Amino acid sequence: MNSQEIVEEFLVMFPENRVYFDKHLEDYGELLQHIFYADVINDLLFDLLKNNNDSEQIKKFVGFIEYMWLKGDESVRNVVDVTILERLSDDKDVWNNLSTYISEEFKDYINKDLLSQNCAMWHVEPI
């Protein structure tokens, strides 16, 4: 799925972000995935994982991130790797808490591929 198809799925799952998406398009004239997802996922999910509360909301976000990774094209997967996972790896507690919500398949990808290929994450411990 391309970025437009993925964002449409995001807005179905998180309709409260429709207003922000429309404002994003107005401001930038197009979907800039890294900026959009950093704004609508990163800070909120980081805080949820930091406090390890509201497991249903965490599961919803993590499920969507895994969906992006599984179904998205290369540009969408890049957002997952570079924008979302890099940010979540900035804090050891957040990173460890994330590990309890992700699938084994996603965990294997992170540990075996992402951490060894993304130089910005070479310092990050496997989860």
- Of the pLDDT bands very low, low, confident and very high (cuts 50, 70, 90), residue 48 is very high
- Whether pLDDT at 122 is above 80: no
Mean pLDDT of 53-82: 97
Report yes or no on 127 lying in a domain.
no
- Whether pLDDT at 67 is above 80: yes
Report yes or no on 51 lying in a domain.
yes
- Of the pLDDT bands very low, low, confident and very high (cuts 50, 70, 90), residue 117 is confident
Q: Which domain holds residue 22?
A: 3-121
**Listed residue (90, 100, 93, 125) closest to 110, CA to CA:** 125
Report yes or no on 101 lying in a domain.
yes
**Structurally, how many domains does the chain consist of?**
1
Say what the pLDDT of residue 6 is.
98
Query: Would you give the DSSP letter of residue 126?
Result: P
**Listed residue (93, 97, 86, 87) closest to 121, CA to CA:** 86
- What is the rounded average pLDDT for all residues in the chain? 95
